[in-house]
Chains A and B, each alone.
Chain A
Amino acid sequence: MTEDQVQQIVIDIIDEIAPDEDTTGLKPEVNLRDQMDLDSMDFLDIVMELRKQHGIEVPEEDYPELASLKSCSDYLTPKFNAK
């Protein structure tokens, strides 16, 4: 799986848990929180959906790795490819 595909997976999850946010044109390097109205409860949901939909576990201490789309793909791509 490529980094782009992993970023798309994260975008799809955000579309699902926060349907009122506009996810078009998100900048990969910029923190998601600075581009959308997401709070810690929303990040908990991103983690929940990664587990439910893709069997990917993100331990609590790694939540900061999900700050931007780029950091998400850096962190998650190896996990997807190790499956």
Chain B
Amino acid sequence: MLSIQELSASVGEKPILNGLSLTVPAGEVHAIMGPNGAGKSTLSYVLTGREGYEVTGGTATLDGVNLLSLVPEDRAAKGLFLSFQYPLEIPGVPALTFVRAALNAQRKARSEDELAAPAFLKLAREKAAALKIDFDMLKRPLNVGFSGGEKKRMEILQMAMLEPRFSILDETDSGLDIDALKIVAEGVNALRGPDRGMLVITHYQRLLDYIKPDRVSVLANGRIVATGGPELALELERSGYDRYAA
């Protein structure tokens, strides 16, 4: 599904990713852990095509499609989703309006019919209820004045509505208390399936108690330095990243 080979990228003049290779087959939830500054967020931005992140070598494909040659919206239409570490505020645009515009833009790009208002609203109500989001909140401008936890929940709601083939969750646990974390994790788990893949980027083991990864990789100095089963995360929790940092 997601295949990254020898990927290198820099921000400005500074190399951040140094020949990173990683494969996530369909159906797998893959956790990426690593110390601060290892390149975790850079990886998510390079994959989604943010400006200012220059790819200097290597490849990244999703279902065989070269992601790196596509503009961000085309990557989204191919089913790539990023849950942002710091979700943006969109003044004046109700959350519902935003999500519907996004959903229909993606459907259009895939030559599918647009979702009509009644069907869309039904879907939004269902998904919001599952994430314990008050439906009225979706009528407010997206993320404006929302708490950190509410913003993260809105990210997962968008993910649930857009049903991406491959999701990247960038530090989704930061800013969440334990109750919110459980709700968010349930939302994420509901999206697991044999056709989907996920990259769960986190600094701490805590999130992985609720979203159980199939495999865990350690990212340090811009490359994957170790890969293993869920036990690797527990080990990191005990011994820290020191032995990878050098």
A and B: interacting chains: no
User: Which residues of A line the B interface, CB within 8 A?
Assistant: none
